[in-house]
Structure 1
Amino acid sequence: MTLHLVRHGRPLIRRSVPAAQWDLDPASYDDVWALRSSGRLPTAAAWFASPEPKAVQTAQLLTDGDVGILDDLREHERSGEWVDDFAGAVRRAFADPDAPAVAGWEPLATCRERVVPAVRRVLDVHGSDDVVLVGHGTAWTVVVAALTGRPPDLRRWESLAMPDVLTVEPDRRA
């Protein structure tokens, strides 16, 4: 069994709207279709997505099959004002996961406590099947760390494209 964690395509950013409500930017469809035809994703797999529109829309472009929507796969919750130094704020979230990095953000530990068990439940149900989860960069960085027993890889997080895929052979002991 291989787990494929897909980061959504580029969103249509609207600063006055929370990121969790952003749609996929139609200008990014070609990038999503390129990932679909790249051979990096399995032809047969169980597919699930975060409920955020950009993730659902990415999943719908990547597969003709059914995609389950799992609320617990949503991104690290970030409400409030626009953050100009977004990468710096995310680094602060990883440095102190028990505290909000920015007013209105959930502590990263809360995201981890929601997302990692959800991914484990999917893996338990699908046993030896390949699984594709379409969601978000910060949440996937937390998941990869939890499933591999390694620290979060912030360099990898910073280099993730939109869309992109992280492939993990989960260590069931981690």
Structure 2
Amino acid sequence: MELYLVRHGRPAVDRSRPAHEWHLDPAYDDDVRVLRDRLPSGARWFSSPEPKAFLTARLLTEEPIEVVAGLREQERDTTDWIEDFDAVVARAFAEPDLPAYDGWEPLARTRHRVVRTLQELLGRAGDRDLVLVGHGTAWTCLVADLTGRPPDPAAWATLAMPDVVPCGDPRGRGDMLST
């Protein structure tokens, strides 16, 4: 079994709506489709409930896709446009127990949720590969637990939209998956 984390494609930004409601920008659908060759056939597919993630998954596979609430991005319940978004995310990584912005979930809570969700999905996967389609901040937290290292904001900053992070077989790393 191998685990693949897919970051969603470029969203169609709508400043009047919170980011968790954004869809994909269809002008970049081909950027998503290019990832098909980097993903396994016959895998189990799971997606964040956010439209941009689910629509990314739909462009990548004809396999059934199960929507899993625990794979959503760090909750950012705001329609505020944040000019220096990267600095706010950096603050979330630096102080994970505190909301980095009004209406944002503390990053420690995001990390706990995505790790717990992966543990549940591993229990259901059997020997099939897993493809999880979601979000950069959540995946940065999950990779930290899989590697036993702190979350890496520089790695977050280099993730493309879309991107694939192959993670190998996570089953042997259960002791690293903290909750």
Aligned to 1:99: 98
Supply the distance in 2 between the matched residues of 1:68 and 1:48 (Cα, whole angstroms).
5
Supply the distance in 2 between the matched residues of 1:116 and 1:43 (Cα, whole angstroms).
24
C-alpha deviation, 1:105, in angstroms:
0.6
Aligned to 1:172: 174
The question of 1:73 aligning with 2:71 is answered: yes
Partner-residue secondary structure (3-state), 1:64:
coil
Partner-residue secondary structure (3-state), 2:38:
coil
1:55-105 per-residue CA deviation (whole Å, 9 max, x = no partner) reads: 010000100110000011100011221111111111100100010001111
1:127-152 per-residue CA deviation (whole Å, 9 max, x = no partner) reads: 32210000000000001111221111
C-alpha deviation, 1:33, in angstroms:
1.0
Structure 2 gaps of 5+ residues are none
Partner-residue secondary structure (3-state), 1:83:
coil
User: Over aligned residue pairs, what C-alpha RMSD do you find?
Assistant: 0.9
The question of 1:155 aligning with 2:157 is answered: no
The question of 1:20 aligning with 2:20 is answered: yes
Give the letter aligned to residue 88 of structure 1: A
Give the letter aligned to residue 35 of structure 1: L
Give the letter aligned to residue 6 of structure 1: V
Q: How does 1:1-174 map to 2 (within 5 A)?
A: 1-36=1-36, 39-80=37-78, 81-169=80-168, 170=170, 171-174=173-176
* Aligned length, in residue pairs: 172
| TM-score (norm: length of structure 2) | 0.93
Give the letter aligned to residue 160 of structure 1: L
Partner-residue secondary structure (3-state), 2:116:
helix
Partner-residue secondary structure (3-state), 1:165:
strand
State the 4+ residue runs in structure 1 displaced beyond 4 angstroms: none
Supply the distance in 2 between the matched residues of 1:172 and 1:109 (Cα, whole angstroms).
19
Identity of aligned residues (%): 56
1:21-80 per-residue CA deviation (whole Å, 9 max, x = no partner) reads: 0001001101011111xx210012000000000001000010011000001110001122
